[in-house]
């Protein structure tokens, strides 16, 4: 069994995002391209975003710290620490309202 502290990983990724010119950083903590399930901690500094993209399968966002907005077309959902958002199966983007770290879980088709 493998155990990870999501709090520690989120803190580390936020530190890396703050130092990066892109204002973002991520670390896959489970799975990857060779598996159907992938879990990645993503950190974005305030004002940064993950540009609009398609979802490769079912996905959720668990906000570990901070605040974000998930946007799909004319719909949007705000998420803050502890919130779980189900990613719609349409083109979407994620905007960091403030520095944010979240666990992205994707089950590829």
- What domains can you pick out in the chain, each with its CATH number? 6-108 (2.60.120.10)
What CA–CA distances, in Å, run from 106 to 38, 63, 98?
5, 15, 23
- The pLDDT score that the predictor gives to residue 68 is 98
Q: How confident is the model over 85-109, as pLDDT tens digits?
A: 999 999 999 999 999 999 999 998 6
Provide the whole-model pTM.
0.93
Which one, of 66, 6, 69, lies nearest residue 40 by Cα? Answer: 6
Q: What is the mean pLDDT of residues 73-95?
A: 96
Q: How confident is the model over 1-55, as pLDDT tens digits?
A: 789 999 999 999 999 999 999 999 999 999 877 788 999 999 999 999 999 998 8
| Burial degree of 10 (CB within 10 A; 0-12, 13-18, 19+) | buried
- The pLDDT score that the predictor gives to residue 83 is 98
- The pLDDT score that the predictor gives to residue 55 is 81
Q: What is the CA radius of gyration of the chain?
A: 13
């Amino acid at each position: 069994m493998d155990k990870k502290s999501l709090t520690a990983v989120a803190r580390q990724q936020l530190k890396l995002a703050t130092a990066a010119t892109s204002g973002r950083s991520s670390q896959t903590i489970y799975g990857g391209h060779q598996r159907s399930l992938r879990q990645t901690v993503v950190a974005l500094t305030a004002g940064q975003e993950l540009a609009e993209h398609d979802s490769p399968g079912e996905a959720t966002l668990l906000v570990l710290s901070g605040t974000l907005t998930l946007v799909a077309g004319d719909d949007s959902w705000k998420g803050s620490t502890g919130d779980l958002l189900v990613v719609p199966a349409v083109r979407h983007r994620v905007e960091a309202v403030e520095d944010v770290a979240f666990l992205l879980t994707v089950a590829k088709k």
